[in-house]
Amino acid sequence: MSNVKEDIEYLIKLVNKDLLIKEKRDILHRNPVKIMEIDEKILILEDELNEKKELLKKMEKEERYLDSVIKSENDKIQTKKIEENSIKTNAAYRAWEHEMQYLAAKIETHEERMLGVLEMIDKENLELSRFSDEVKVKKDKLMFQKMELEKNIEKSQASLDIIEDEKLRILPHLSKKVRVEYQRILVAKHDTAIANLLNDVCQGCFSRVPPQKAHEVRKNNKIITCEFCGRILVYYQENKKAESYE
């Protein structure tokens, strides 16, 4: 049967495992959220790029429409020119001349519009090229971040499995009373049932522990709980690496 000092030695190993488990679980919780945020950013970039492409398509469609209208009006002028030789009266000639002027004016209006559209297409092509390059750079960066997060998830899950297995092998070495108390507090606190005492401060709730109680905790020879958060208090040097239980 374990004595109190042995219990505390195992409790110190357990708190390190619990803190590592919390760290890995936090990563496994946060990283998928970050990946979703990255995916949303990529979708926004793609939507912006598609909007610019659609705008260019509309301009090109208008260019084709204007080109067909101008050709149609020119065909009408050519047909009207052929009719000129068959005009018999001055009134008919004036009507013919008026219609020719009307068709020419329409063509001029369409050609002016065509020039404006062509200028906009040239400008939009340059903007689309620039923006496409910018989107590619941003997407590559975001995809790299996503890949790193996915690797981190995979690595953290593998580490978590190992740490949880190590913890399971530590628990049976606690005395039954301490193990039951540890598990009861763990259920209530969700992260760890144990807290290190650092500079007379409970590292579970960061409340200051009274000097006399802190002195007793540092002896590591009795089970003492924090009067504020209820966690079991232990004392160890945090700059030491967490021990693995073999």
70-81 pLDDT tens trace? 999 999 999 989
Mean pLDDT of the chain: 93
Q: Which amino acid is at 193?
A: A
The 10 Å Cβ neighbour count of residue 21 is: 18
> Residue 1's pLDDT band (boundaries 50, 70, 90)?
very low
Q: How far apart are CA 149 and CA 132, in angstroms?
A: 25
User: By the 8 A CB rule, do 9 and 225 touch?
Assistant: no
Q: What is the pLDDT of residues 4-25, one digit of tens each?
A: 999 999 999 999 999 999 999 9
Instruction: Give pLDDT, residue 242.
Output: 42
Instruction: Give pLDDT, residue 227.
Output: 95
Instruction: Give pLDDT, residue 241.
Output: 44
User: By the 8 A CB rule, do 156 and 28 touch?
Assistant: yes
> Residue 177's pLDDT band (boundaries 50, 70, 90)?
very high
Q: How far apart are CA 138 and CA 102, in angstroms?
A: 53
Predicted TM-score (pTM) of the model is 0.74
Delimit the domains of the chain by residue range. 23-172, 175-234
Instruction: Give pLDDT, residue 239.
Output: 62
Say which CATH topology domain 23-172 has: Helix Hairpins (1.10.287)
